[in-house]
Structure 1
Amino acid sequence: MMLPLLLASASFDWFDYRGADPVDRAVQVRPSEYRNPILQGFYPDPSITRVGDDYYLVHSTFSYFPGIPVWHSRDLVTWRQIGNAIDRPDQLDFKNLGLSRGVFAPAIQHHAGTFYILNTCVDCGDNFLVTASNPAGPWSDPIWLPDLRGAIDPSLFVDADGSAWIVNNGPPEGTPRYEGHRAIWIQRFDLKTNKTFGPRKVLVDGGVDPASKPIWIEGPHLIAKDGWYYLICAEGGTAINHSQVVLRSRRPDGPFTPGPNPILTQRDLPADRPYPVTSAGHADFVQTPDGKWWASFLAVRPYAGDFYNTGRETFLLPVDWSGEWPRILPAKTPIPLALARPNLPRDTRPAPPTSGAFGYREEFDAAKLGPEWLMMRNPRESWYTLAGGALTLKPRAVGLGDNGNPSFLARRQQHTNATVTTRVRFDAAKGRAGLAALQNDDHWFAIAVATTPKGRVVRLIARGGEQEPKAGRIVAEAPAPGTAPIELRGEAAGSTYRFAWRTAGAWRTLGPAQDGTLLSTAKAGGFVGAVFGVFAEDR
C-alpha cells in the first residue's frame, strides 16, 4: 500500500567546526603578543569606538539576518559578540536582494549615554541610524536620513563643543569624470532631533590625488587631534589596490589637505611573499587611555593568487603618530601576523576564540541560538525550533538558490582549512536536508539526505553560477537505506572541498574532490565570505 507523501521535519543533533591553517603553526604568538586577524572570517568594514574602559566594534553583514554584529572588548584583542543591531525582522526588509546588497559599512559612535550606528541599506531604504542606551540592545527602529539619499558609508563625528557632523561617500557634484569617481561629503547633524540640517559640502572630490583619477574613496571617519581635524578614508576599491588615506584641516568642514599617502596598503608588495595578506583598508581609529592610537581595518588572506573564501576579515594595528600625520604601516611593509598586545589590562573573562587555530561544538541545548548564527535575509515565518537538544528545521519550498529566506542557518567559515560535521535525522517521503557550504545563492555545495523512488540516498549537490538550476546539479549519490540518523561532513582545504557521510563506523567519501574556488570572491563576486550551515528544503 502506498503511503501519502508526508513532509517531515529535519532535526540536527549538533554542529561541530574545527579550523587550523598552516600560518597558525608558522607564526608563533608569545603570551605578550596577539595574532592577526583578530576576527577571522567574514567580518568586513570594522568600525570601533571606546567608552571608558570598554571597546565596541561593528561590521557589515549585507543581506544576512540578523545584521550588524556588535562586539565588546576590554583589551582590543579578546572580543565577544554581545548582540546584533538589526535583530528584528521588521527593522529592515532585505526582500529578495542579492547577498552582497543590504547593510554596508556601519559606523558606531557614542555620545552622552547614547550609542549611534549609522548605516546604509543598499536597495532597501538608503541611509539610516539606529540608537541604543545599551550596545547589547535593543536597538531602535531605523531613523531614516533622506538628505543623504544616494550616498553610502555615513559616520558620525561629535566635536568638543557638542556640534555634530555626518561624513559620507556619495556621487560627485555634476557628472562623474570616470568610473569609480566618488566624493566625500559633510553635513551638520542635530543630536536632539536625529536629523541632518544645513547645506551638504564636498570635502574630497575623487581622492587624495585627483589628477591620477583615484577610485572609490569611501568609509570616511573624522578625528580631532591637537587642533587638527583628520579625515581618514579608504581608496582604491575593495580588491588588491585597496588602501587607507588621510587628509587634515583646521575645521571639520574643510578645506582638507592630503598628507603622505597611503598610510596603509599591501599593493606595493610582491605577490609571491609567504602567507600574504592583501586588500587592506577601510580603517577606523580608537585611542586608548595611555594616549596610544589603534586602527581596526579589513584585509584578506588568499590561499592562492587572489582566491579567498573566508571573506574580508578584521585586523588590528597600532597607529604611529610620532610625526604630524598618522601612519599605520610604512610603505612596502607586510601586515604583521603577531605583534605586541595593546597596553591594556588583559581581559580574562571566558570568550569564544576568534583567531588562530580553534574549534567549537554547538549542542543546540540552549533556549535560543547564539548571536553569531545567520540566515539569508529576513524571515517571513517561523521555520526552526530548539528543543530536546536538537535544532529542527521545517522543509519549505524556498531553497538555497532562490534569493529568498530558505530554512538555512549558518556560521562563517573562519579558516582556509576547516572541517564541519553534523548529524541529521530526516526520513521523509519528500524533500532534502543536510549540510551546505555557501558563498551566495548562485555558488554553493550541499551534502543532503533525500528520498527517491528507490529509497533513501545521500547526495552531493552543487551550484556554480546563475546559469545552473536553482536547485543545483547532482554531483554524486549513494544509497543510505534504513532510518538511522546520518552524520555529514564538509572539509575545506584551500581550493579543495570534500564531502563525506556515515551512519556508523568509517566515513564514506561522496563524489570527487570539488573545486572550492567556486566559493571564492574572485569567482562568486560580491562582498561576503563563505559560510557552513544546515538546511532543509521541500524539493
Structure 2
Amino acid sequence: MNLFRNHFIMSVALLTLGLAMLSHSKKIYSFKQPIAYKHVVTYDWFEYKGQDAVFERSDKTNDDYFNPILAGFYSDPSICRVDDAYYMVTSSFSYFPGLPLFKSTDLVHWKQIGHVITKASQANFSGGVSRGLFAPTIRYHNGVFYVICTNVSSKGNFIVTSTNPEMGWSDPIWLPEIDGIDPDLFFDDNGKVYITHNGPPPNNISKHNGHRAIYTWEYDLQQQKIVSNQKLLVDGGTDMAKEPVWIEGPHMFKKDGYYYLFCAEGGTGYQHSEVVFRSRHIYGPYTSYENNPILTQRHLPKNRAHQITTTGHADFVELPNGDWWGVYLGCRPYEVEYYNTGRETFMLPLKWQENGWPTFQQGTQPHPFVHPRPALPLSQERIEPTSGNFVSRDDFESDTLDVLWNFLRTPDRQFYDIEGGTLVMEPQAESMHEVSKFSFIGRRQQHSNFEVATKFSFAPSKSGEAAGLVAFQNEKHYLFLGKRRNEQGNLEVFLEQSFGETLEILASKVVENEDDDLLVRIVGRTKYYDFYYKQNEHDDWRLLKANVDASLLSTKVAKGFVGSMLAMYASKNHF
C-alpha cells in the first residue's frame, strides 16, 4: 500500500441518537458532523462463500426450495401477508440494528428490506450478547404494520408501528403490565385486539422446574394501552401430568369458529417442539390437541445424517388459495448438538384435518432440506441469497453499509465511514475482551462449511493496537485473526482464542516488511477452522494455523441464543 495509506486520515461523524433509516433497501444510516482522526483501519473488501454439501443437490428444481429459508442466526421467525407480499421478522438480541426485516412474494426468495429497530430511542443495548430483543411478532391491520416484542435489556414488552416498513418504525409503546416474554398481537373479527404472551405460573407458584403459563390481555389500538385484566389461557402446557416445560412463543389465529393457540414447548434445545390448543372462546377453556406435538425432532435418532433439530417456535400465514405455511426455528448440528450457525428459519406446509386440527406436513418426520415450494408465482427479482450455497462480496461501493451488516450493541458514536470504495474503521478504546461497545461490524455465519476473507490496511504504532477478522460468538468465545505490533516492536499476524476465562495466542508470524496491507482468510470445515494470511493479492495463501477446534463458537459451549458472526474488528487496547 502506498505512503498515503500509511498516513491515512479520514473524516467520520458522530452517531446521533436519532439514527435515520433511508428508503433505499441497501442503506441503513446517514451521518453528519464530520471529525478527523488518525490510526484508522481501512477495509478494501469482504467476501463470504457458503460451501455446505447438503446444498449441492442435483435433484432440486425450480419447483423446490431449500431449508432453511433464512440460513444462519435468524431465530424466532414471525410472518404476515399483505396482499401478494409476505413480511418476516426475526430475533436479534443485542445486535444493532435490531429485528431484521424481510420481504418476499413467493415465500422462497427473501429480500432483507431493513430492520425494525434502527434508532437508539427505540432500543439502546449495553448488556450481554444474548440479551436485548427476544421473539417478535409482526402483523398487519387496516393499513398499519405492527411489531410487538420484548426488550429484556430495557422496559420489557413494547409495540412499534409503521405504514411503510422500508421507511422506518415508530418509537416503542411500552406495555408495563406484562410480566413475561414472546408477545403476540391478535386482531379478532369482532374488532377487538388481544396481546398473548408467556409468563410465570399462576400466583408465581411453580409446580415443577420450567413451569410457565400463557396469558392474554385486551388491547385498545386508539388509546394504545391494555384495557383488561390478565386472563390465564394455558397453565403449564399440554399435559401437566408429564410436567411440561417452557410453554412460550404463543400465536393466536381464528378459523371456522375456533381460536387456535400455537405455542412452543420443551425449551430451545433438543426437546423443542410446537404444540396447539383450541377453544370456542378467546378466553378458553383451551383443549390440547391429542396428537401434540405437531412439530418436533426430539424423538428421532441422534446419530442420523444431515439432521435438522431443535425445531419449534412457529408462526403461520395463509396464502390467497387457502394453503397454510408455517415458518419455524431449527438447527443444523454437527456431532449431535453442536452448531455454530445458531438457530435458523425453516418452512413447511400446515395441513388442516377434517376434525379441524392443524398438523405440520412431515412435522414429526425427519425435516427435509429440499421441499416442493408454495403454489405462488416464482419471483424474478435478483436478490442476495438467504439459503443454499452462495458468494456474498461487499466492495463498499455504496456510501452506507449494506443491511446485512451488524454492530454489537447500539453504538454511542460513529466509528466508521465509507469513502471511495473503502470502509474506514476507527479503533476505539474498548476491546472485545469485555462487554462493551467496541469497533465491530459483522455478518452472520450462514454455513457449516464456509470461507471468509478480507483485505485491510493497518499500521499499529504501539503494542495493544489490533485489527482484523474475528469469528465471534460472545466476548468469552471467539477466534481472532489479526494484525498487531508485538512487545518486541515487530508487526505480526496472530491468531487469538478466547475460551471462557482463558485467552491464548494459538499462532503468530512476523510479517516480512512494514507494508501495512494484509489479507486474512478463515476456512470453516464444520468443527475445525483453518486460518491463512498473505500480504499481496497475487501471492499464495500462507497457513498460520490449521485444525483449530471451533466448537467453542457453538451454542452448546458458549451458551446463549445467538449464532456466530464474522466481523471486522479494531481496538486501541486489545491486550
Q: Same fold (TM over 0.5)?
A: yes
The two structures have a TM-score, normalised by structure 2, of 0.90
Structure 2: unaligned runs, 5 residues or longer: 1-36
Question: 1:197 matched to which residue of 2?
Answer: 227
Shift of 1:330: 5.0
The residue type equivalent to 1:247 in the other structure is F
Q: Secondary structure at the match of 1:23?
A: helix
Q: Is the 8 A contact 1:7 1:429 kept in 2?
A: no
C-alpha distance in structure 2 between counterparts of 1:524 and 1:460, whole Å: 19
C-alpha distance in structure 2 between counterparts of 1:280 and 1:34, whole Å: 18
The two structures have a TM-score, normalised by structure 1, of 0.96
Q: Is the 8 A contact 1:447 1:499 kept in 2?
A: yes
Residues 1:460 and 2:495 aligned together:
yes
Question: 1:104 matched to which residue of 2?
Answer: 134
Shift of 1:229: 0.7
Question: 1:31 matched to which residue of 2?
Answer: 62
Q: Is the 8 A contact 1:171 1:182 kept in 2?
A: yes
Residues 1:513 and 2:542 aligned together:
no
Task: Spell out, residue by residue over 1:421-464, the C-alpha distance to the aligned partner (whole angstroms, 9 max, x if none).
Answer: 00010012131110000011110011111113332111111100
Task: Spell out, residue by residue over 1:441-493, the C-alpha distance to the aligned partner (whole angstroms, 9 max, x if none).
Answer: 1100111111133321111111001x22xxx4322110112214110001111
In 2 relative to 1, CA 397–512 (structure 1 residues): closer, same or farther, beyond 3 Å? Answer: same
Q: Secondary structure at the match of 2:229?
A: strand
Question: 2:151 matched to which residue of 1?
Answer: 121
Q: Is the 8 A contact 1:169 1:220 kept in 2?
A: yes
Residues 1:273 and 2:304 aligned together:
yes
Question: 2:568 matched to which residue of 1?
Answer: 534
Question: 1:404 matched to which residue of 2?
Answer: 436
Question: 2:190 matched to which residue of 1?
Answer: 161
Shift of 1:515: 0.7
The residue type equivalent to 1:532 in the other structure is L
C-alpha distance in structure 1 between counterparts of 2:328 and 2:208, whole Å: 27
Residues 1:50 and 2:85 aligned together:
no
Alignment of 1:113-512 (within 5 A): 113-148=143-178, 150-174=179-203, 175-259=205-289, 260-323=291-354, 324-330=356-362, 332-430=364-462, 431-452=465-486, 453-465=488-500, 467-468=501-502, 472-480=503-511, 481-504=513-536, 505-512=539-546
The residue type equivalent to 2:202 in the other structure is E
CA RMSD of aligned residues (A): 1.4
Structure 1: unaligned runs, 5 residues or longer: 1-5
C-alpha distance in structure 1 between counterparts of 2:50 and 2:547, whole Å: 19
Determine what percentage of the aligned residue pairs are the same residue. 44
Shift of 1:27: 6.7
Q: Is the 8 A contact 1:268 1:331 kept in 2?
A: no
Task: Spell out, residue by residue over 1:52-85, the C-alpha distance to the aligned partner (whole angstroms, 9 max, x if none).
Answer: 1110000000011010011100111110010101
Question: 1:64 matched to which residue of 2?
Answer: 95
C-alpha distance in structure 1 between counterparts of 2:223 and 2:108, whole Å: 36
Q: Secondary structure at the match of 1:13?
A: strand
C-alpha distance in structure 2 between counterparts of 1:440 and 1:118, whole Å: 26
Question: 2:7 matched to which residue of 1?
Answer: none
Question: 1:19 matched to which residue of 2?
Answer: 50
Of 398-407 and 38-47, the range deviating more from structure 2: 398-407
Question: 2:19 matched to which residue of 1?
Answer: none
The residue type equivalent to 1:508 in the other structure is R
The residue type equivalent to 2:240 in the other structure is P
C-alpha distance in structure 2 between counterparts of 1:137 and 1:228, whole Å: 36
Structure 1 residue runs of 4 or more that deviate by more than 6 Å after TM superposition: none
Of 397-406 and 303-312, the range deviating more from structure 2: 397-406
C-alpha distance in structure 1 between counterparts of 2:167 and 2:258, whole Å: 34
Q: Is the 8 A contact 2:295 2:364 kept in 1?
A: no
Task: Spell out, residue by residue over 1:184-203, the C-alpha distance to the aligned partner (whole angstroms, 9 max, x if none).
Answer: 00110001122111110110
Q: Could you tell me which of 81, 88, 101 is aligned with 2:119?
A: 88
C-alpha distance in structure 2 between counterparts of 1:516 and 1:483, whole Å: 31
C-alpha distance in structure 2 between counterparts of 1:9 and 1:526, whole Å: 32
